[in-house]
Amino acid sequence: MNKFVLKGDIIFTSNRDNFETYEDSYLVVEKGKVVGIYSELEEQYRDYPLKDYTGKMIIPGFVDLHLHAPQYPNIGLGLDKELLPWLDTYTFPEESKYGDLEYAKKVYSKLIKDLWAVGTTRAVVFSSIHKESTKLLMDMFMDSGLGAYVGKVNMDRNTVPKLTESTERSILETEEIILEYKDKSNLVKPIITPRFVPTCSMELMKGLGDLAINYGVPVQSHLSENTSEVEWVQELHPEFLDYASVYNEYNLFGQTNTIMAHCIYNTDEEIKLMANNNVFAAHCPYSNFNLSSGIMPVRKFLDNKVPVGLGSDISGGNCLSIPKVMAAAVQASKMKWLETNRELAPLTSSEAFFLGTKGGGSFFGKVGSFEEGYEFDGLVIDDANLNIKKLPLEERIQKFIYAGDHRNIIIRYVKGVEIFEPK
């Protein structure tokens, strides 16, 4: 259906400073995009099919900027460890299994179903080093109707033998996926995915940066998540000023659209470089708590105009739900505020909501807001069970974030198309 109207209590954030609320209003969608929001339906839209959700909330779909699909079976496991031992003990053994397409299919179908359930309409995903199961994951996202960037992981050093690729093959297989998938779908696209500096030789990073530039493909990786990891990068690359400069040298730092997960220990220079190169930070508070990584100073990034979104970071993170990640981001920022003698102000509710919708959505283009021309990714929320007293909309959304769950989400749209539970 090309044109339709939704009626309900509409709330979104076009900027992080405040919620925009339209109670009992009409949202008009044409060709997958938002046309406008009206308190009275104008004459020209009166013959459009009307979906009446009076009394329910209509909000943007959630955007998960960072998760690892093959780690889904490990959710909740090994979270008494720190990053590097956790990778060796839990993550690499699990990721070694994805040469088996049957196993991959079982895991990925459960993950996509659960992403749908929690209202994530767009996700930026690491797969494993395996080419065929990466393609399978992309095909399964396409079948689901959800939006995703999916990256085959690249690693040619410092990992277990089963996951160590030859440099040449790693680059060739990445190129093969780019060629096959770059124009296949509007909603599911490849992303270049060097795991992180410690597992990628300079030759590999150079090859991947060349692919990024030649094909105009985006990039994702990890940056400054853990103190031992940062020290390791310094030992491996003493010739570079800092961690970010390694990626930057190889055209993997904003030369094409780029996301860096975590960014807890960035220097001021690294933050400035992210701002200058428009590199997105994916803030993953659950993961940062679980792996005792630290607390990202998210306010510094916002003040320096670095684009920021939220990530579940499954399975360093143990929670797939972006509204729950929003709440954790507020909690983390409040601890940071205390830790800095009340210097770095905590996130407000509207800021957290912005990060999990338009903040991350901007990586996909005009996504994550209901401003005119935005792709209509929307959720209908039945929050009747959450409210004992009547509340204004900006408080109903807080209730949903902190006290609601996937059962409150009754309808999902991606780019103007209603998405049903994936098979």
Which segment (74-82, 83-91, 166-174, 370-378) binds ligand GUN by CB under 6 A? 83-91
Q: Which residue type sits at 377?
A: D
Which segment (14-22, 161-169, 305-313, 366-374) binds Fe ion by CB under 5 A? 305-313
Q: Return the number of the residue (229 or 313) whose C-beta is nearest Fe ion.
A: 313
In the bound complex, what is the minimum distance in angstroms from residue 384's beta carbon to ligand GUN?
37
Helices 101-117 + 131-144 axis angle, to 10: 30
283 touching ligand GUN, by CB under 6 A: no
Q: Which contacts (CB < 8 Å, 24+ apart) does range 240-246 have?
A: 241/269, 242/267, 242/269, 242/270, 243/197, 243/270, 244/269, 244/270, 244/273, 244/274, 245/273, 246/197, 246/205
Q: Which residue type sits at 263?
A: C
- CB-based contact 161:128 (threshold 8 Å): no
Instruction: Choose, by CB under 5 A, the member of 95, 313, 351, 375 that binds Fe ion.
Output: 313
Which segment (155-163, 268-276, 312-320, 338-346) binds Fe ion by CB under 5 A? 312-320
The entry of ligand GUN, Fe ion, none near residue 225 (CB within 5 to 8 angstroms by kind) is ligand GUN
229 touching Fe ion, by CB under 5 A: no
Q: Return the number of the residue (91 or 251) whose C-beta is nearest Fe ion.
A: 91
In the bound complex, what is the minimum distance in angstroms from residue 284's beta carbon to ligand GUN?
7
In the bound complex, what is the minimum distance in angstroms from residue 258's beta carbon to ligand GUN?
16
195 touching ligand GUN, by CB under 6 A: yes
193 touching ligand GUN, by CB under 6 A: no
In the bound complex, what is the minimum distance in angstroms from residue 222's beta carbon to ligand GUN?
4
Strand partners, 260: 221, 281
The entry of Fe ion, ligand GUN, none near residue 379 (CB within 5 to 8 angstroms by kind) is none
The entry of Fe ion, ligand GUN, none near residue 133 (CB within 5 to 8 angstroms by kind) is none
How far apart are the C-alpha atoms of 400 and 406, rounded to whole Å? 10
In the bound complex, what is the minimum distance in angstroms from residue 86's beta carbon to ligand GUN?
8
287 touching ligand GUN, by CB under 6 A: yes
Bond from prior residue into 315 cis (ω within 30 degrees of 0): yes
Contact track, ligand GUN, 219-248, x by CB under 6 A:
---x--x-----------------------
In the bound complex, what is the minimum distance in angstroms from residue 195's beta carbon to ligand GUN?
5
How far apart are the C-alpha atoms of 88 and 160, rounded to whole Å? 8
196 touching ligand GUN, by CB under 6 A: yes
Contact track, ligand GUN, 296-315, x by CB under 6 A:
-----------------x--
Count of residues that bind Fe ion according to CB under 5 A: 2
Q: Return the number of the residue (10 or 87) whose C-beta is nearest ligand GUN.
A: 87
316 touching ligand GUN, by CB under 6 A: yes
Contact track, Fe ion, 255-294, x by CB under 5 A:
------x---------------------------------
In the bound complex, what is the minimum distance in angstroms from residue 363's beta carbon to ligand GUN?
19
Q: What is the dihedral of CA 306, 206, 128, 279, to 10 degrees?
A: 10
How far apart are the C-alpha atoms of 95 and 156, rounded to whole Å? 15
* Interface ranges with ligand GUN (CB under 6 A): 68, 83, 87, 91, 195-196, 222, 225, 287, 313, 316
* Interface ranges with Fe ion (CB under 5 A): 261, 313
